[in-house]
Structure 1
């Protein structure tokens, strides 16, 4: 591949958040009377994330953004644009970006706005950020993809649910990765997937949606290829509603590339087929491998012999294992995160596989429909940023599994987190110096009225719109230790913050436990006004350092699944 032109604009910081609770698809399959292989092999999925009470697109976006600022060591006051891509908005009219800006201490002079284009929303927001930086209108943007994927209980889409958020800090002279100067793109009026107003579950035309995905991904690839020439990245990353779909597209893409190569060279490939055991050749030629029976017939019509077809099977399988499967751990274990899908996979590969100079191809797809493709080039010394805690692997180590009954209660009951809250007092713990050199990221400062409503930082509007009196400031450290606990029933955590100086704590951890800052939706007023505020979560003791072992296990697991699906 000729080196395509890259911009001096890219990813300077990145953070991820996913709910701690998961549902195993084997358990869901048994509860629905379905063979688990339909989910585990047919969809290539193992489990998905389930939002806890009070977790939504806003709370997850706050967490991912806070982590991006922590990992990068970037002062939130230096952010002059906040863009959110989502299809899980909290309000019909009020942006998540404005909420984040106010709660994270970002300059009140920053641009803010939400963008909706289904699962491509975050990618569209990134393109906007690149354009604003290129034009000199801003210097640094915080871009977030945050979503909850939800389908009716018992529906075909139920096993493809998930939730999560990814936050990227985009700037010039990026320390992690830089974007290509060209992007592939296609859009059209396609009714493959939609969620009507006032409905919290989506409607999808399954087979039609798959055809739309495959077609648009191919056109976005072709459009980029026409601009920059041959594309041969180190890693391929595609939007992944479920892991089997990118695999299906990748097989299609590799087949078309090889057919085009054969047209250009006048033959198939240098034959290695004689190295295959004859029994394996028989299975491959029956369409039991990476090439379907119709495609095998197509190749034969193009004068490919059996050995060349077997070689192509081997090539596609190797490309899958080495360049695509590494990214698919994310959808296999966290589920479909809609707008966060592609960029969470990018972060996973950066943390666990990438080397300086590696090139990623990304193919983003949003139903309705659009597809955007592009390249990322990993920067020298990117590990000085990407390896800072928290890392995505922490979200694997600390997961907690739900029963199907508990999952169904979460699914049907959108109530707040009140049943799981206790109150306590905390003492601040020091944060790692490497990520606290800038003002504002050792913790979060918020203002409240006497009734516990969160107030804006804007001086001219520093009073409660609901007529409550008072205004006071509270600082919430990133890390703390519990010094006192008070169990109580039927509490309003925000009211207690206002009057007692206590903080909401998830569960009932013992005094002396180390806790870390989190965010949840804690109140919904009669007029549907929502309030998000800090809560503290115990730091799991399961956090260990066996990263290399676990990553190796993950690779073997993916390879095993691919073999079962061959």
Structure 2
């Protein structure tokens, strides 16, 4: 039986900064960000958006009424939780009008959460082929202003509809994984900003990729040449480049197509920034939306990584689908953002750190359908601006 991604949606907030502007403001050589990190732009998430509203905006244009009635599970992968108890999926279920006869829960393991959800969804559909599952990867990456991690911030959401009609990618359930308790990245409960041991995290990431990738090749009797493309968790493009270099030489003629497809896979990430749980899947979207050389039947490798740490390598088979609609939708979201000055970005960033029992967010600059209106008596209030309804 076939199982995989039937539909996929993406959203990021309507604001961004240019990395050249940030470099100049931080008195850095712009090439340190453009080349050393591989980042061109970075989405900036206003207080009017959080992981729930971004996921709702990513999902609303891909789910039909029939899909909503067939969805048995809403699996929300995030490390930017909006409540220490209540799952983000509960709000999302309400905003999207998904059937109440569904399981809805949240998964946390750094940037790996969406992949854990995807594997669970594949197993569920295998046993219940007439049903559907949505898997969300949504996050806001924050490291603080004027810090070494500032250039790797960003945010957004990817939503995947998993079913027995894999119109985009088909999975066969084969994967290899490796986990170990390490302190390369973490976010204490008292702060919205992450803590990271950058160099150590890079080393662990590459080690976990090599372990899981080589184990996959050995276990399933494959070589790197059996893949048409390799995609990665991309908190910033240079990290994916370093991982790919560890198994494929850039000057090796036999690896030319692998490198070509890789560069297609980081086009969107280089303009949006870090999505944490959604980063691998934005890279996958970038690949299939922008590549003009892939075709149905091609095997695409995927490396998922979550600090702390969990790594997994798996693969999917590209299906025969028209990528023009997906490309148009994502290009429109990214190209229509408003550029902020660095001072405007800093003010918006600081506003996003404020928590209070009662807040009212400025919605005037956010025309997205779903927004976070604020908080009343410690209760989050979301708004569907198209329907003029509060939740």
Normalization by structure 1: what TM-score? 0.64
Structure 1 residue aligned with 2:286, among 348, 360, 371? Answer: 348
- The question of whether the paired residues in 1 share the 8 Å contact of 2:289 and 2:326 is answered with no
- The question of whether the paired residues in 2 share the 8 Å contact of 1:77 and 1:105 is answered with no
**Distance of 1:124 and 1:388 partners within structure 2:** 24
Structure 1 residue aligned with 2:177, among 174, 178, 185? Answer: 185
- Aligned twin of 1:523: 374
Shift of 1:420: 4.1
Q: Deviations over 1:239-261 (max 9, x none)?
A: 11110111111111125xxxxxx
**Distance of 2:138 and 2:37 partners within structure 1:** 23
- The question of whether the paired residues in 1 share the 8 Å contact of 2:266 and 2:287 is answered with no
- Aligned twin of 2:265: 327
> What's the secondary structure of 2:160's corresponding residue?
strand
**Distance of 1:239 and 1:74 partners within structure 2:** 32
Shift of 1:386: 6.6
Shift of 1:196: 0.1
Shift of 1:225: 1.2
**Distance of 1:101 and 1:420 partners within structure 2:** 22
> What's the secondary structure of 1:530's corresponding residue?
strand
**Distance of 1:323 and 1:13 partners within structure 2:** 21
**Distance of 1:139 and 1:211 partners within structure 2:** 40
Equivalent positions of 1:371-382 (< 5 A) are: 371-380=311-320, 382=321
Structure 1 residue aligned with 2:309, among 369, 372, 382? Answer: 369
Structure 2 residue aligned with 1:204, among 183, 196, 200? Answer: 196
Gaps of 5+ in 2: none
1:19 aligned to 2:17? no
Number of equivalences: 378
- Aligned twin of 1:409: 347
Shift of 1:395: 1.9
116-125 or 321-330, which deviates more: 321-330
Instruction: Quote the RMSD (CA, aligned, Å).
Output: 2.1
Shift of 1:194: 0.2
**Distance of 1:388 and 1:127 partners within structure 2:** 23
Equivalent positions of 1:258-337 (< 5 A) are: 290=250, 313-315=251-253, 318-319=256-257, 321-337=259-275
- Aligned twin of 1:129: 121
- Aligned twin of 2:46: 52
**Distance of 1:157 and 1:203 partners within structure 2:** 9
- The question of whether the paired residues in 1 share the 8 Å contact of 2:122 and 2:173 is answered with no
Shift of 1:323: 2.4
Shift of 1:45: 0.8
Shift of 1:148: 0.3
Change (3 A) 1:517 1:43: closer
Change (3 A) 1:179 1:386: farther
- Aligned twin of 2:73: 81
**Distance of 2:98 and 2:328 partners within structure 1:** 21
Structure 1 residue aligned with 2:384, among 534, 559, 562? Answer: 534
Change (3 A) 1:320 1:83: same
Change (3 A) 1:25 1:316: farther
1:142 aligned to 2:82? no
**Distance of 1:138 and 1:74 partners within structure 2:** 12
Equivalent positions of 1:372-521 (< 5 A) are: 372-380=312-320, 382-383=321-322, 387=325, 391-414=329-352, 418-421=361-364, 506=365, 518-521=369-372
Q: Deviations over 1:293-316 (max 9, x none)?
A: xxxxxxxxxxxxxxxxxxxx2437
Shift of 1:236: 1.1
**Distance of 1:171 and 1:342 partners within structure 2:** 20
1:153 aligned to 2:140? no
Tell me which of the two structures has the higher relative contact order, counting C-alpha pairs closer than 8 angstroms and 6 or more residues apart: 2
Structure 2 residue aligned with 1:30, among 11, 16, 24? Answer: 24
Gaps of 5+ in 1: 1-6, 256-289, 291-312, 422-505, 508-515, 538-566
Q: Deviations over 1:514-544 (max 9, x none)?
A: xx76111102123x2111111259xxxxxxx
Normalization by structure 2: what TM-score? 0.91
**Distance of 2:220 and 2:327 partners within structure 1:** 36
Shift of 1:230: 1.7
- Aligned twin of 1:284: none
**Distance of 2:55 and 2:165 partners within structure 1:** 25
- Aligned twin of 2:35: 41
